Structure 1
Amino acid sequence: MTLKIPMLNRRDFLAGAGAAGALALAGSLPTRLHAQTLALGDASLKVVSDGNLVLPMNFLLVGREPAEIEALLGPHGLPLDQSEPDCNVTLLQTGDRLVLFDAGAGANFQPTAGRLLESLEAVDVDPSDITDVIFTHAHPDHIWGTLDDFDDPLFSEARHWISQAEWDFWRADDTLAKMPEERKSFVVGAQNRFDAIEEQITFFKPGDEPVSGIEVVDTAGHTPGHVSFMLHGGADPLLITGDAITHPVISFEKPGWEIGSDQDKAQGAATRAALMDRLAADKVSIVGFHLPYPGIGSVERAGSAYRFAPTA
């Protein structure tokens, strides 16, 4: 499957993340300090919480008229001015490997996020237990959590994996200069973390299996090297989507709409539309990083569009 979302800028991200967002997290996170667990053949998958983000709706739906937004979100009872997507981090125990998909936001992005360590502690997982950290992409809420409070690698015993295309993009000499001013911190943050974990990094490309049973799927568009991961071994495959799917209504009912967080907006929309079609046709289960916690479910056709069907 060849499919392809951009840079979420920190200033825009933080625009809506005041005290109200922090209070919302304080009230909701404790219910998530237990992992949702799913059996995948001989493997076991857990989803833990890194908290949530707070995003202005006009950042996600750039150029959309208020009436369009209300027509889409109003029937679902969702706010029209902002979105508060969960951040769902997936753990896979397979044989002697404990694999972490993405590393969360850490302490320096949004105050409502960066709660991964609390969630890991609640399920008796120490960072040193992680054998592999596999990245979907290098946005702050997915990679900034790789470092501890002293800017040392948090998952010190783990092999870190990332797509060669993603690494090359963020490390390119001209990426910082070409990036809009409000997103330059994304580049600096990614480069700092890449520098810190460089000795632990192994690269892959779409079609590879960094760990047996984990297939890399090209879902570029959100970022140039964004990938998702198809997990094999259970009765049915399951896709770790990363940010190829980001909203329980927008992504499903309007997959072709361009999204402000996608670096290549046209490619991101094309990737989403193709991905939705395949997931629905093949009845593939998903874990969505930003879908309502724990983000486990499936894609169902709904007329000319789709809907998210959470797993009970």
Structure 2
Amino acid sequence: MTFSRRTLLKTLGVGTASLALPTLSTMAQAAPAGPAPVLHQFGLGDATITALLDGHLPVPATMFTGYDAARAQETLEGSFYREGAQGLEIPVNGYLVERGGKYTLVDTGTAQLMGPDLGGLMAALAATGVGAGDISTILLTHMHPDHAGGLLAADGSAAFPNAELVVAETEWDFWYDDAIMASVDEGSRGFFQMARDAVAPYADRKKPFTGEVEVAPGFTAMPLPGHTPGHSGFMLDAGDEQLLIWGDVVHSTALQFANPDWTIPFDTDQPLAAQTRKAMFDRAAADQLLVTGMHLDFPGLGRVVRDGAAYAFHQAPWQFGL
């Protein structure tokens, strides 16, 4: 494991003096209200999709493995991206998909586990008029806290009482492997416990999958290993149109299209994460896929294009699909 509690807290601008990471349920009960709801709704084929913003997280450019100051300056030059005192702001997104009166949620945000600038996904969901009890399926790209944290209500129960939880079997098995958990440093073990806490209320209604298979009507899983062992994207087939929701293939829109080899410490296998990213960039560019992701600039819709030896992201207009 390459990530650690110290790395996470440094990223968040929090001191490292605390002795232990609390459980998700404990943190949720103590958390203040999150940001105001931000959402963007659009139509795609026979689906209505709503991008839900959980908030923003500062990530220093120097955190990226492969970082080069001159190359970073060249990449950012002429753009609207600015690195603040704590880093480049990256969003945390989730996506609500409605098809035929059924509601599917892809990732659940942080549940206010990672500071006051995050935790807005549930408020954004409520602003759509869709209740947590209306969600029938949750597609989980992976079990990091900014994706799985919102699975829990403040009292530790399931925040989505009627939802089936769809997650890669490899992902579930990794976080539940006691031998792996015992082998990492003590601080990193908190990530394992948080992952287990988040999914525990759904153990009797989880739907594991393996490989590139249909996991829900209109959704095909896309294994995208590297960030975590079972990290997955989901291809939505909305009749005559498709959308690839690729999870954490990209963490920084500002840096990683131009520098696809740059990885982040939270990638459990950094070389594989870079390999997966470049393969998906190639596929998305060749097939002119509409893509979105959990850390692409909100609302995250666009297409990948080649830019010399690298790539670029062409963001869709805000009113896309309306």
TM-score under structure 2 length normalisation: 0.86
Deviates more, 1:230-239 or 1:259-268: 230-239
From 57, 61, 66, give the equivalent of 1:57: 61
Contact 2:111 2:152 in 1 (8 A): yes
Secondary structure of the structure 2 residue equivalent to 1:85: strand
Deviates more, 1:242-251 or 1:144-153: 242-251
- The residue identity in structure 2 corresponding to 1:64 is Y
Separation of aligned partners in 1, 2:115 and 2:4:
11
The answer for the alignment partner of 1:3 in structure 2 is none
1:71 and 2:104 equivalent?
A: no
The answer for the alignment partner of 2:41 in structure 1 is 37
Aligned residues: 296
The answer for the alignment partner of 2:110 in structure 1 is 105
String of CA shifts for 1:49-96, please: whole Å, max 9, x gaps. 11111223332x135232332222334243346121111110011123
Secondary structure of the structure 2 residue equivalent to 1:71: helix
- The residue identity in structure 1 corresponding to 2:12 is A
Contact 2:35 2:119 in 1 (8 A): no
Task: Please report how far the alpha carbon of residue 254 of structure 1 lies from its aligned counterpart in structure 2 after TM superposition.
Answer: 1.2
- CA spacing shift, 1:92–1:247, aligned 2, 3 Å: same
1:85 and 2:80 equivalent?
A: no
The answer for the alignment partner of 1:14 in structure 2 is 9
- Over aligned residues, Cα RMSD in angstroms? 2.1
Q: Which has the higher contact order (CA 8 A, sep 6+)?
A: 1
Secondary structure of the structure 2 residue equivalent to 1:69: helix
Map 1:1-312 → 2, pairs under 5 A: 9-17=4-12, 30=36, 33-59=37-63, 61-62=64-65, 64-80=67-83, 82-312=87-317
Secondary structure of the structure 2 residue equivalent to 1:131: strand
TM-score under structure 1 length normalisation: 0.88
Q: Percent identity?
A: 32
String of CA shifts for 1:151-177, please: whole Å, max 9, x gaps. 101001111110000001000111222
Task: Please report how far the alpha carbon of residue 9 of structure 1 lies from its aligned counterpart in structure 2 after TM superposition.
Answer: 4.3
Contact 1:254 1:305 in 2 (8 A): yes
Separation of aligned partners in 2, 1:270 and 1:226:
14
- The residue identity in structure 1 corresponding to 2:271 is A
- The residue identity in structure 2 corresponding to 1:17 is L
Contact 1:17 1:111 in 2 (8 A): no
- The residue identity in structure 2 corresponding to 1:72 is T
Deviates more, 1:162-171 or 1:63-72: 63-72
**Is there any run of 5+ residues in structure 1 with no aligned partner, and where?**
1-5, 20-27
